[in-house]
Structures are given as structure tokens and as C-alpha cells.
Amino acid sequence: MSTRRVVGRADAASAAEHAGAHLDLVGAPFTLPRSRILILRDGDRLRVHTSEYERSLAECVAMDALEMCDAAGVTMPVTRVLPHAIEFGESVTLTFAGPSAWSVGVGSGDRALVRWTRRAGEEPEELPIGGRHPASVMFRLDRSREVEFTRSDDHAEHLEATRQVWLDWFATCPIVRPGLQDMAAFCWWVLGANIVELPQLGDARAVVPSKIGYVGLWQWDAYFIAVGLRHGDPELAREQLDLALRFPTAEGQLPDVVHEEGVLASSDDLPAADRETLRRAGSAVADPSAPVPLTKPPLAAWALRKVLEADRDASADWARRMIATIRRSQDWWFTHSDLDGDGLPEYGHPYSSGLDDSPVFDGPLPTTTPDLAAYLIRQDLELAALVERWGAEPEPAAGRAAAASAHRERARRTLECLLTLWDEPSGRFRSLAAGAPIESDTIVGLMPLLTGELPETVVDVLVAALDDPDRFATPWPIPTVAVGDPDHTPQRMWRGPVWVNTNALIVEGLERSGHSDRARRLAERTVELVMHAGGPHEYFDPYTGERAASATTAFGWSAALFIDLAVALSHDA
């Protein structure tokens, strides 16, 4: 059982100020936990957006321009941003007034002018505040993105209430070693900022990958995010797993996404225009007219074990429910996703891999990959240990040993299948496209380290690949496609950039495979990467260490796994 160390109320304000230093209103918006409002900078003006599933920021403009002016009408620049307030000049501040409204106010005795344009091209509206007028104005946003405003004298109360929301959040920020604490505070802000409510699920809180572009609870992201949250807010971590596992199909398959309008579990859950592009075109074994199941890699038991290690308040009943759902999901992979019947499940569509754009999916489908085999082995081994510790429905306590043994036996059989993908001459695990070998040299070939069960000779070759400049030894490791592969493209998603989640999995794989020192070096280099790039971006250039041009900023799993790696490195120091 791990011991959590968090900032606490006394130092929450300091953590908030450290996080605020990173809030540029471009890559990091002004927002509030549970709110769908985003406020971003456009020069000296602001723009207000809503955060919605599968809609771009450009589609979700609630206020095209918002600016603060002095009494003479001259625009005032942003002078400082804190998690709870944007400051303009010496006396004007903007803060939230609950999740669906914001407030602009001036200090006692001061005057200012608030100017805004609801839609591009419209004439701006103006409202003086202070002096003989009320000291603030509150803007409220409805579900159709319409904005109403009212004069108010409650700005100070809104400012303090918003400050307390963030102080409560930062009081749970994990404590890490001094050189990492500043970025840990920003990453903790990212996780709090990315909390949204899912109205159809009551008061459910989903920590989304990003309010700027990924507004839903993706299954894979939920696992990584929960692993980071467990160090400061294990209840919220538990809630992410509960949401990800709440909607299995009748066969046990877990959905790809839980979002504000429902779930995405197959191509039939997509708009009609998108469905045909997601059929299994070119598959030699699947029905191209059938719906495509869409899910994510099986890391649920891996995440559950980590959350339970940190969460003393998790009930046995909750743990057993989670275990039962994961066991059914694991069975689904072997029963419904072993499309060629060889004992080794395949990805029926790239979406289910999490690495959609990887060159291993450039050929016909289904695709057999070593990473899926490794995840399935890891999941069966995790399930064996979880069943022994917690039990599982519907087996009585007396059946725990038999259930655990069955999981370990399936892991053994899957490992035998995985090893058939090992190609000794090339020193790599190969993927198969509809049964034919794929030449691509990608990060999926390193994931078998995660099993902790590979022959030592195979482990040695994979570790050597990490230090080979023609394969994975870039200045900032680990590229998702090897340097010598013709598809290596350092700025293109999953075709060369570095991702924090794949690095974190390989850190654990190295540890499990007997290379603890090598694991620590990679963990150190990964947290250095996030700090060097200025934040937890979606993915990074392996040569410059900067955010790739098309990568999303303030990205949830990068923030969560920075926290997880930083905590481990700090405890090991």
C-alpha cells in the first residue's frame, strides 16, 4: 500500500501560483473544474468558447471578443493569470461565477469599461463598471451558447469562491522532489482544469484528455489519467475507472469513448457519413458489411491494481465489480477479437489500438501486433493477482485459486503466441497485416517488455535497440517509429514523435524485465522532456524535445503520467 504525500492547505496557494506561471491563455486556457467554458487570448482581447464532444473551438465560440478597457476606452493588456483570476492593469480582474458564468470587476473606487462582441462582424457592446456604476458585470452562458449579462456587486464573492475551488484542488497536489514540483503543480492544474460533468450521468466527473479538442472519456486515457490522479485524489481516480467500465456490451466489450451524448463502442455509434470509412476494408477474415467494434487496449486491470494500491477507501465490493467487468472484457478479446482463430487476438480497426496512425496499420486488416499480445498477457497476470487478493464475482472465495490459475495459464499460452512474432535476424517483434509480415519498426515491438516474461536473450536485444541511433536512440527518447524506418516522421502523430504514455509503459517494462537502472534513466529523461517543452503536451519532437506542431497542449495523460513518474522518482531518490 503506497503512502500519499500531498501539498495540503498550507501550501496550496504556492502550488496555484506555480501553476499560474504556465497559464498563457493560448496552450493553457482559463477554465474551472466541471465547467465547459474556456477563455483564451487573442492579442489583448479574449475569446470565450465552450468545450464540446467532437466539436472544434471554432464551432464553439460563445463570445468572439472580450476586452477590458480603462475609463478612457483604451484596451488594457493581461498582466497576470492565476488559476482563479485573469488580471488586467492594476485593478480589473476576471473570474468564474460558478461553472456556467464569469464575472468582471474593478477594485473599490476604480472605473473601467468592459467591451464585447458576441459574433464576429457584429458591433461591440460596452458596459462601464465602477464609479457610479456597479463594480462588476456577470456573464452567464446557456446550453445554446447564448450569453446574458447582468450588473452585479458580487465580484469579490465570486473571486473568493473560485479561489477556494482551486485551493481545494491544489491542496491535493502530490509532493515530489524540488526540481519537479513546479511542473507537478502545472500538471495537477491540467488534471483539475480538464474535469467536466457528463450531464446524462448525473454528477459524474470525467477528466477528459483536453478541453481543447478531446472532450470525452476515452477508455485508454482514463486508465493513464487514473494512474496519475491516484497520488492526490484516489476517489476521482476511482471515478474514472468506474466510468470507463460502466458500459460494457452484452459480450463484455468496453466502449472506446464515454461522452456527453452516450458511448462510442462501434462504427454504428458514429455519424452515418463516417461509418463506411470505418468498415474493415481489405480484411481477409472479417465481414466488411458488419459494424466495427471500437475499443481501446486492455490495460484496465493494470490501472485498477495501481489505483487500489493507493486507495485505502476503495471498498471490496467496488473492487470486485471492477474485476468482474474487466474479466468479461478480457474474455471478449479472446472470443470476439481473435479474428483468424489462431489464439492471438488482433485489432479489427486502428482506432482500437490507441495508435491510430501508426504505419503498422497501413496494410490490410485485421492487424496482429506484439503490443496487444503484451497487454493481454499483462492483464491476465494482473487479474490473477487481483482475484487472489479481492475475489471476483461470481466465483465464491473457494474458487479464487482456480480463477487465478486460469488467468495465468491463458497468459502462458498468449506468451507462446507472442514469441512466434519474434524475428531473430532483425531483432524485433513483427506485426502482421491480415497474416502477412509488416516491415515497420515501431514502438509496438518494445511493448512485450511489459510482460516481464520474455527470454533474457530477447530482452537484451530490445534494450540494445533503445541505445541504437538507427532505431530508438534519439536525443529525446523514445520515438514511436524507429529512426531507420522509412515511415519515421518526427512531427506526425504516432509515426515518430515521443509520447509520455508509451514511454511510461516501457519504463515499467524495463523494470519488470530486470533493467531497473535503464528504467530510471528513461523515467528521468521523460520528466525532463515535459519540463523542457514547457508542459504536458500530447506528443513531442524526438530531436528538439519541443511540442510537435499539431499536438494538443495541456494534455491529460501526459500530465497524469508526469505526476506518476515524478512521484516514483522522488520516492526512489
Instruction: Burial-class residue 277 by CB neighbours within 10 Å (0-12, 13-18, 19+).
Output: exposed
What distances in angstroms separate CA 130 from CA 148, 161, 172, one per listed residue? 20, 21, 37
Phi, then psi, of 195 in degrees rounded to 5: -75, 130
In this predicted structure, what is the pLDDT of residue 391?
85
- Cβ-defined contacts of 537-540 (< 8 Å, 24+): 537/27, 538/210, 538/499, 539/480, 539/493, 539/497, 539/498, 539/499, 540/476, 540/497, 540/498, 540/499
How confident is the model over 74-92, as a mean pLDDT?
A: 95
How confident is the model over 378-398, as a mean pLDDT?
A: 86
Phi, then psi, of 238 in degrees rounded to 5: -60, -40
**CB-facing half-sphere around the CA of 467: CA atoms within 13 A:** 7
**pLDDT tier at 566, thresholds 50, 70, 90:** very high
How confident is the model over 350-376, as a mean pLDDT?
A: 95
What distances in angstroms separate CA 131 from CA 15, 67, 70, 127, 326, one per listed residue? 35, 19, 12, 12, 62
How confident is the model over 398-425, as a mean pLDDT?
A: 95
For the ranges 19-23, 211-215, 517-521, which has the lowest average pLDDT? 211-215
Specify the amino acid at residue 52.
Answer: E
Going edge to edge, which strands form the sheet with 61-69? 37-42, 45-50, 61-69, 111-117, 125-130
- What is the residue-averaged pLDDT of the chain? 94
**pLDDT tier at 1, thresholds 50, 70, 90:** very low
For the ranges 122-126, 198-202, 399-403, 554-558, which has the lowest average pLDDT? 198-202
User: Which is nearest to 535 in space by CA: 190, 179, 43, 174?
Assistant: 190
- Is a pLDDT exceeding 60 seen at residue 502? yes
How big is the CA angle at 116 (ends 30 and 156), to the nearest 5 degrees?
55
In this predicted structure, what is the pLDDT of residue 272?
73
Predicted confidence (pLDDT) per residue in 146-204, tens digit: 999 999 999 999 999 999 999 999 999 999 999 999 999 999 999 999 999 998 888 89
For residues 490 and 198, give the distance between their C-alpha atoms in angstroms, rounded to a whole number: 35
Evaluate whether 242 touches 226 at the Cβ level (below 8 Å).
no
- Is a pLDDT exceeding 60 seen at residue 383? yes
Rg value, the chain, Cα:
25
Evaluate whether 147 touches 139 at the Cβ level (below 8 Å).
yes
**pLDDT tier at 90, thresholds 50, 70, 90:** confident
Evaluate whether 190 touches 534 at the Cβ level (below 8 Å).
no
- Is a pLDDT exceeding 50 seen at residue 438? yes
User: Which is nearest to 295 in space by CA: 247, 339, 342, 341?
Assistant: 247
DSSP class per residue in 307-345 = HHHH-TT--HHHHHHHHHHHHHHHHHHHHHS-TTSSSS-
User: Which is nearest to 192 in space by CA: 34, 29, 30?
Assistant: 34
Predicted confidence (pLDDT) per residue in 315-340, tens digit: 999 999 999 999 999 999 999 999 88
Percent of the chain with pLDDT over 90: 86
- Is a pLDDT exceeding 80 seen at residue 560? yes
Evaluate whether 305 touches 311 at the Cβ level (below 8 Å).
no
In this predicted structure, what is the pLDDT of residue 279?
61
Residues in the chain: 573
3-state secondary structure of 423: strand
Percent of the chain with pLDDT over 70: 96
For residues 86 and 507, give the distance between their C-alpha atoms in angstroms, rounded to a whole number: 39
**pLDDT tier at 143, thresholds 50, 70, 90:** confident
10 Å Cβ neighbour count for 315?
10
Three-state SS string across 125-152, please? EEEEEECCCCCEEEEEECCCCCEEEEEE
- Is a pLDDT exceeding 80 seen at residue 275? no
DSSP class per residue in 197-253 = E-GGGTT-EEE-SBTTTB-SEEHHHHHHHHHHHTTT-HHHHHHHHHHHTS---TT-P
**pLDDT tier at 283, thresholds 50, 70, 90:** low
- Is a pLDDT exceeding 90 seen at residue 278? no
DSSP class per residue in 152-176 = ES-HHHHHHHHHHHHHHHHTTPBP-
* Region for residue 554 given its phi and psi (left: phi exceeds 0; alpha: psi -120 to 50; beta: otherwise): left
Predicted confidence (pLDDT) per residue in 128-139, tens digit: 999 999 999 999
3-state secondary structure of 444: helix
For residues 538 and 429, give the distance between their C-alpha atoms in angstroms, rounded to a whole number: 26
How confident is the model over 389-395, as a mean pLDDT?
A: 78
Predicted confidence (pLDDT) per residue in 465-475, tens digit: 999 999 999 99
**pLDDT tier at 426, thresholds 50, 70, 90:** very high
